[in-house]
Amino acid sequence: MLNIILMGPPGAGKGTQATRIIDEFNLPHISTGDIFRENISKGTELGLKAKAIIERGDLVPDELTIDLVRSRLSQDDCAKGYLLDGFPRTIAQAEALKTMGPEIGRAVNLVVDITVPDEVLMERIAGRRVCPKCGASYNVNTMKPAKEGICDRCGAELIQRKDDNPESFKIRLDNYYAQTAPLVDFYKAEGLYHHFDGMIGLEKVSAEISELLKANQ
Ligand code: ADP
Ligand code: ZN
């Protein structure tokens, strides 16, 4: 079973690898960031609560995020595996997932962490463009789409995220080290943790992750 958590600081290549994994292994992609952004663009109650927090680079409160993930993971399409991207981001979220996973028949069995040095992250985030429709990400310097400004995967127009500015990025990175990095030890202790070096190139990272997933299918 592939019940996967994908971890990594903003800019590590998580989004790109997520798109490849879901295409190759046919898993539902549960990106808490995408779900929040969708709620913001639709103006839902959750979106209204999350908008300012996300745009300044902070984390949405655990309670809201945990409820959201519980209801999404409970859906039928997650019964044969899932890729959880952007959750958990705090120890409290990881603890909640550890309890809820077995309860709803969705226990996590693999954690994939991709890391990249800070200097590189900033550069990647500054050039990042994303597809608001399918979540695919590109870079204006290093990973251009075939047609400028258009998503290769679904044809939608690419945008720059509001939190991909230097101020919000710094807050996101600080929060990452303070709140999310402790999950490495948490998942090592659970025996689920797998580390990937995000500097070896997209193709190589992708091949290594694919190998791990095939071995655990
Ligand atoms: P990135 O591409 O920077 O990793 P995401 O798209 O995963 O970012 O998430 C964007 C923003 O959504 C986060 O900076 C945070 O404000 C909010 N968010 C996403 N997932 C979570 C979570 N698990 N807990 C709290 N906030 C979250
Ligand atoms: Zn797209």
Tokens of 47: 């979106």
Q: At what angle do helices 14-25 and 202-216 cross, to 10 degrees?
A: 40
pLDDT for residue 100: 97
Closest ligand 1 atom number to CA of residue 36: 12
Q: Is the dihedral of CA 108, 114, 119, 121 positive or negative?
A: negative
Pick the residue whose CA is nearest to atom 3 on ligand 1.
10
Flag whether 92 is in a domain.
yes
Residue 65 forms part of a structural domain: yes
Question: What's the CATH code of the domain at 183?
Answer: 3.40.50.300
Task: Note the Cα 71 to chain centre separation in Å.
Answer: 18
Residue 137 CA to ligand 1 center (angstroms) comes to 15
Q: Do the beta carbons of residue 173 and residue 125 sit within 8 Å?
A: no
Ligand 1 center–CA 114 separation, angstroms: 16
Task: Give ligand 1 pocket residues (Cβ under 6 A).
Answer: 10, 14-15, 32-33, 36, 53-54, 57-60, 65, 86-89, 93, 163, 172
Q: Which atom of ligand 1 is nearest to the CA of 85?
A: 7
Of 5, 16, 89, 137, the one to substitute when testing ligand 1's pocket (max ligand atoms within 8 A of C-beta) is 89
The Cα–Cα gap between 174 and 115 comes to: 15
Provide the residue range defining the domain that includes 45. Answer: 2-116+178-215
The number of domains in the chain is 1
Q: Tokens representing 113?
A: 């962490």
Give domain status of residue 156, yes or no.
no
Q: Is residue 203 part of a domain?
A: yes
| Nearest atom in ligand 1 to 172's CA | 14
Residue 159 lies in a domain: no
Nearest ligand to residue 34 Cα: 1
One-letter amino acid for residue 163 of the chain:
D
63 inside domain: yes
Pairing of β 82-85 and β 29-31: parallel
Ligand nearest to the CA of 137: 2
Pair 27, 138: CB distance under 8 Å: no
pLDDT score at 136: 87
Give nearest CA residue, ligand 1 atom 10. Answer: 33
Asked whether residue 82 is assigned to any structural domain, the reply reads yes
In tens digits, what is the pLDDT along the chain, a chain of 217 residues?
999 999 999 889 898 899 999 999 999 999 999 999 999 999 999 999 999 999 999 999 999 999 999 999 999 999 999 999 999 999 999 999 999 999 999 999 999 999 999 999 999 999 999 998 888 889 999 899 999 999 999 999 999 999 999 999 999 999 999 999 999 999 999 999 999 999 999 899 999 999 999 999 9
* pLDDT score recorded for residue 105: 96
- Is 70 part of the annotated catalytic residue set? no
Identify whether 96 is part of a domain.
yes
Q: Please state the atom number of ligand 1 nearest to the C-alpha of residue 175.
A: 14
pLDDT of residue 16: 87
Q: How far is CA 159 from CA 32, 62, 168, in A?
A: 18, 27, 17
**pTM score, whole prediction:** 0.92
DSSP designation for 115: E
